[in-house]
């Protein structure tokens, strides 16, 4: 099964990066640009929304939340996302530096949609990086590069 992989160097402490990937408020700042529904706690789920949609674009179950790793499983959303896992692994490096290893794993097959998702994940992870470093987030729609409409 193919995976989306990204490695990002962030000039911010691991705790700062963790706070942004392990809270609904943090995730909204770098990814969706609008509030999320639900809660980010192991065993719970949260929903992400884009634009003014009433139906969530994806529902993610929190499988793990540790200082060095956050794992989500997609339970609702695009068909090709169902059952996939999204993992943020944080490695401290030097003073106030973090290496983020991102994986969106378990895709059944590579294709155009996966390629577009990889491109957009790269853009949103860049939003996470710049936001963690300077509070200059660029969530959706500013961060979207590969459009589906």
CATH of the domain at 127: 3.30.530.20
**Domain-embedded: residue 140:** no
pLDDT, residue 149, reads 61
**Domain-embedded: residue 96:** yes
**Domain-embedded: residue 139:** no
Across residues 53-58, what is the average pLDDT? 93
Phi, psi at 125, each rounded to 5°: -70, -30
Mean pLDDT, the chain, whole residue set: 95
pTM: 0.95
Residue 127 CB neighbours (<10 A): 22
User: Residue 23 belongs to what domain range?
Assistant: 4-134
CA 17 from chain center: how many Å? 12
């Amino acid at each position: 099964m193919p995976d989306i992989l990204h490695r990002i160097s962030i000039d911010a402490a691991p705790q700062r990066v963790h706070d942004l990937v392990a809270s609904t408020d943090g995730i909204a700042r770098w990814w969706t640009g609008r509030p999320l529904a639900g809660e980010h706690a192991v065993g719970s789920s949260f929903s992400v929304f884009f634009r003014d949609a009433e139906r969530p674009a994806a529902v993610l179950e929190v499988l793990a939340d540790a200082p060095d790793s956050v794992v989500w499983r997609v339970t609702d959303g695009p068909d090709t996302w169902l059952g996939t896992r999204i993992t943020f692994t944080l490695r401290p490096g030097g003073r106030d530096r973090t290496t983020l290893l991102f994986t969106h794993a378990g895709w059944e097959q590579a294709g155009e949609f996966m390629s577009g998702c990889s491109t957009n994940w790269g853009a949103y992870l860049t939003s996470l990086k710049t936001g963690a470093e300077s509070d200059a987030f660029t969530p959706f729609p500013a961060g979207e590069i590969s459009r589906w409409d």
